Chain A
Amino acid sequence: MSTEKPTDEQLIREFQAGSSAAFDEIVRRYRNPLFSFIYRILNDPAFTEDLLQETFIRVWTNRDSYREVARFSTWIYTIAGNLAKSELRRQKIRRWTSLGGASSSEADERPLEVADESSDPHRDYERRNIQQRVDHEVAKLPIVFREVIILRDVQELSYEEISEILKIPLGTVKSRVNRARLRLQKRLKDLL
């Protein structure tokens, strides 16, 4: 009997065949990486959770539209990325029309829950400080640089996959990653 974990593609096939346990496993696998990805684009925990939920609902309702021509991770990141960018555009319009520049979410200030906290509070405190600083600098990048650097260096996706998710040429992905890294290197010099 094989104890190997099923691949994402196997899971979605099982889900398409009617297994809701396969869907639960997909949620378990992608819950934290997608939450981190959406959060780093939006910087709004409440909207992030809402969009994470929307991403999984779309996987549930459109499960039959997934074809195995692309990797499952590419498909789900494309859904999440499109939702996040649409929300970002809506938030910009909302800020512009409210004229005050205030955030639309009242839950902005609640602390984020970290998935892999250690048992060393001092280490966690230091790590959180660095994390906040890095998040802050990443959030200041223009969206075209932000999305590629998150997908490449935080989520560790391949250039080819990023190119498919964002629907931009491979060369553009590489040059954007380079430019994003150069900007971050300058801003985070004291941490490097």
Chain B
Amino acid sequence: MNDCENFESLYIDWKKGRLSGDEAEMLTRHATSCRHCTSIGSDEMNLSHLLRNQALYRPTNGFEMRLDNSIRSVENNGKPIRLVKKTSIAPRLTALGAGLATGLAVGIFVLTAPMENSGNMPISSATSIPSHLVADISPVIDEKVGDSLASKRDTAQKVDSHYLVGDYGKVVSGR
């Protein structure tokens, strides 16, 4: 510690006259030569005064009687009488661990599931539909949905070409 740190730590003892002759002399010398420590000395004294004058709190009435009962309880069955019911942390940690493990397992399953399906194809609900049913409804899909898909595809192509021909600025400004 340098002289200033030493001064700060011993200031209270110095003011209270608790220091030895040498230490007290050293602090007196430092206090007269260091402007910084002279200024912090007063603040520090005020702070210590403020903290020292903090009132003492006390336990609620009847503490001694409860303590006495608790000591008897410890002597009789080894357990004190507690004011606060202590809950063990272990069940909470177990539940948290189980939750994390489940989350991890689900995450791993989701990540590895597409890879298990050969060819990296996405799993589709259609795979579970029997083929004869698919064959029966496919013309309907082709007719009804196919037309609308075709029209959407045409529109998309038109828009794409619109962007590609370099008219992008026009579109943006028109918004």
A127 / chain B contacts, CB cutoff of 8 Å: 55
A35 engages B59 (CB within 8 Å): yes
Q: Which residues of A contact B47 (CB under 8 A)?
A: 153, 181, 184-185, 188, 192
CB of B143 within 8 Å of the partner chain? no
Contacts of B74 in A (CB 8 A): 57, 60-61
Interface size on A, residues (CB 8 A): 56
Q: How many residues of B contact A (CB 8 A)?
A: 39
Which residues of B have CB within 8 Å of A93?
A: 89, 92-93
Binding site secondary structure of chain B: helix
Q: Quick check: B55 and A105 within 8 Å, CB to CB? A: no
Q: Which of A124-139 contact B (CB under 8 A)?
A: 127, 130-131, 134-135, 138
Q: B83 — which chain A residues lie within 8 A by C-beta? A: 46, 49-50, 53
Cβ A153 vs Cβ B51 within 8 A: yes
Contact check, B1 vs A174: say whether CB atoms are below 8 A apart: yes
Name the distance in Å between A62's Cβ and chain B's nearest Cβ.
12
B residues 1-28 in Cβ contact with A at 8 Å: 1, 5, 8-9, 12
Q: Give the Cβ gap from A27 to chain B, nearest Cβ, in Å.
A: 6
A32, B8: Cβ atoms under 8 Å?
no
B4 vs chain A, min Cβ distance (A): 10
Chain A residues near B89 (CB-CB < 8 A): 90, 93-94, 97
Establish whether residues B52 and A154, one from each chain, have CB atoms under 8 Å apart when the complex forms: yes
Contact pick for B43, options A52, A54, A159, A185, CB 8 Å: A185
Tell me the bound Cα distance from A2 to B17 in angstroms.
Answer: 29
Q: Mark A34-57, 1 if CB is under 8 A from B, else 0.
A: 011001000000111110111011
Q: How far, in angstroms, from A156 to B63 measured CA to CA in the complex?
A: 25
B64-72, B102-110, B111-119, B122-130: which lies at the interface: B64-72
Q: Is B33 an interface residue (CB 8 A)?
A: no
Known: A57-B70, A90-B89. A192 touches B80 (CB 8 A): no
Residues of B within 8 A of A33 (CB): 56
Task: Name B residues whose Cβ lies closer than 8 Å to a Cβ of A.
Answer: 1, 5, 8-9, 12, 40, 43-44, 46-48, 50-52, 54-61, 63-64, 66-67, 70-71, 74, 80, 82-84, 87, 89, 92-93, 95-96
Task: Show 23 A/B contacts (Cβ-Cβ < 8 Å), sorted by A.
Answer: A35-B56, A49-B83, A50-B84, A56-B67, A56-B71, A60-B71, A60-B74, A94-B87, A97-B89, A98-B92, A107-B84, A114-B55, A114-B57, A127-B55, A134-B54, A153-B12, A153-B48, A153-B51, A154-B51, A174-B1, A178-B8, A178-B9, A185-B44
Residues of A within 8 A of B (CB): 24, 27, 31-33, 35-36, 39, 46-50, 52-54, 56-57, 60-61, 90, 93-94, 97-98, 104-105, 107, 112-117, 127, 130-131, 134-135, 138, 149, 153-154, 156, 159, 171, 174-175, 177-178, 181, 184-185, 188, 191-192
Closest 7 CB pairs of A and B: A153-B51, A97-B92, A174-B9, A115-B58, A115-B56, A192-B46, A32-B56
